[in-house]
Chains A and B, each alone.
Chain A
Amino acid sequence: MKNTKFQNNVAMAIIKLIAAMVVLILVFLLGKILISGVPHISWKFLVTPSKAFTAGGGISVQIFNSFYLLILTLLISFPISLGAGIYLAKYAAKNKITSLIRMVIEILSSLPSVVVGLFVFLVCVVQMQIGFSILAGAIALTFFNLPLLTRNIEESIKAVPNLQLEGGLALGLSKWKTITKIILPEALPGIITGVILSAGRVFGEAAALIYTAGQSAPAVDFTNWNIFDETSPLNLMRPAETLAVHIWKINSEGIMPDANAISAGTSAVLIIAILIFNLSARYLGNYLYRKLTSAR
Chain B
Amino acid sequence: MNFMEKIITTKDVHLYYGSKEALKGITLDFPDKGIHALIGPSGCGKSTYLRTLNRMNDMIENVKIEGEFKFKNQDIYDEKIDLVELRKKIGMVFQQPNPFPFSIYDNVTYGLRMAGIKDKRILDEKVETSLKQAAIWEEVKDNLNKNALALSGGQQQRICIARVLAVAPEVILLDEPTSALDPISTEKIEEMLLTLRDNYTCIMVTHNMQQASRISDTTSFFLSGNLVESNKTKKIFLNPDKEQTADYLSGKFG
Chain A residues with a Cβ under 8 A of chain B: 93-94, 161, 163-164, 166-175, 177, 181-182, 185-186, 292-296
Q: How far is the CB of B250 from chain A (nearest CB, A)?
A: 35
* Cross-chain contact of A93 among B61, B86, B98, B164 (Cβ < 8 A): B61
From B88, B101, B110, B149, residue with most partner A Cβ within 10 Å: B101
A161: chain B residues within 8 A (beta carbon): 96, 98
**With A and B bound together, what is the CA distance between A106 and B114 in angstroms?**
38
- Cβ–Cβ contact B88 & A170, under 8 A: no
Query: Please, what's the 1-or-0 string for B146-160, where 1 marks a CB less than 8 Å from any CB in chain A?
Result: 110110000000001
**With A and B bound together, what is the CA distance between A296 and B145 in angstroms?**
7
A94: chain B residues within 8 A (beta carbon): 61
B167: chain A residues within 8 A (beta carbon): 171-172
- Cβ–Cβ contact B147 & A170, under 8 A: no
Closest residue of A by beta carbon distance from B149: A293
Closest residue of A by beta carbon distance from B90: A170
Chain B residues with a Cβ under 8 A of chain A: 54, 56, 59, 61, 83-88, 91-92, 94, 96, 98-101, 103, 110-111, 114-115, 145-147, 149-150, 160, 163-164, 167
Known: A169-B87, A171-B167, A174-B84. 16 other contacts (CB 8 A): A93-B61, A163-B96, A163-B98, A166-B56, A167-B99, A167-B160, A168-B100, A170-B91, A170-B92, A171-B87, A172-B83, A172-B84, A172-B111, A295-B147, A295-B150, A296-B103
Q: A171-B164, A296-B146 are in contact. Are A186 and B92 (CB under 8 A)?
A: no
**With A and B bound together, what is the CA distance between A295 and B150 in angstroms?**
6
- Cβ–Cβ contact B59 & A171, under 8 A: no
Closest residue of B by beta carbon distance from A291: B147
**With A and B bound together, what is the CA distance between A31 and B101 in angstroms?**
42
- Cβ–Cβ contact A294 & B147, under 8 A: yes
B100: chain A residues within 8 A (beta carbon): 164, 167-168, 182
A295: chain B residues within 8 A (beta carbon): 146-147, 150
State the 5 A-B residue pairs at the shortest beta-carbon distance, nearest first: A170-B92, A163-B98, A172-B87, A167-B98, A172-B84
Closest residue of B by beta carbon distance from A95: B61
Closest residue of B by beta carbon distance from A181: B114
Q: How far is the CB of A218 from chain B (nearest CB, A)?
A: 49
Q: How far is the CB of B89 from chain A (nearest CB, A)?
A: 9
**With A and B bound together, what is the CA distance between A148 and B114 in angstroms?**
34
17 A-B residue contacts at CB 8 Å? Answer: A93-B61, A163-B96, A164-B98, A167-B94, A169-B59, A169-B87, A170-B56, A171-B91, A172-B111, A172-B114, A172-B115, A172-B167, A185-B101, A292-B101, A293-B150, A294-B150, A295-B147
Q: How far is the CB of A21 from chain B (nearest CB, A)?
A: 41
Q: How far is the CB of A99 from chain B (nearest CB, A)?
A: 14
A164: chain B residues within 8 A (beta carbon): 98, 100
Closest residue of B by beta carbon distance from A185: B101
A177: chain B residues within 8 A (beta carbon): 114
**With A and B bound together, what is the CA distance between A85 and B246 in angstroms?**
52
Closest residue of A by beta carbon distance from B115: A172
- Cβ–Cβ contact A186 & B87, under 8 A: no
Q: How far is the CB of A80 from chain B (nearest CB, A)?
A: 25
**With A and B bound together, what is the CA distance between A163 and B114 in angstroms?**
19
**With A and B bound together, what is the CA distance between A229 and B46 in angstroms?**
70
**With A and B bound together, what is the CA distance between A173 and B56 in angstroms?**
12
Q: How far is the CB of B111 from chain A (nearest CB, A)?
A: 5
Closest residue of B by beta carbon distance from A165: B59
**With A and B bound together, what is the CA distance between A100 and B111 in angstroms?**
38
**With A and B bound together, what is the CA distance between A168 and B150 in angstroms?**
19
**With A and B bound together, what is the CA distance between A174 and B58 in angstroms?**
13
Closest residue of A by beta carbon distance from B84: A172
**With A and B bound together, what is the CA distance between A93 and B100 in angstroms?**
26
**With A and B bound together, what is the CA distance between A138 and B109 in angstroms?**
43
**With A and B bound together, what is the CA distance between A94 and B86 in angstroms?**
28
Q: A166-B98, A167-B94 are in contact. Are A172 and B147 (CB under 8 A)?
A: no
A186: chain B residues within 8 A (beta carbon): 101
Q: How far is the CB of A177 from chain B (nearest CB, A)?
A: 7
Q: How far is the CB of A150 from chain B (nearest CB, A)?
A: 22
**With A and B bound together, what is the CA distance between A181 and B94 in angstroms?**
20
- Cβ–Cβ contact A170 & B61, under 8 A: no
**With A and B bound together, what is the CA distance between A93 and B147 in angstroms?**
34
Q: How far is the CB of A268 from chain B (nearest CB, A)?
A: 40
A167: chain B residues within 8 A (beta carbon): 94, 98-100, 160
A296: chain B residues within 8 A (beta carbon): 103, 145-147
Q: How far is the CB of B139 from chain A (nearest CB, A)?
A: 15
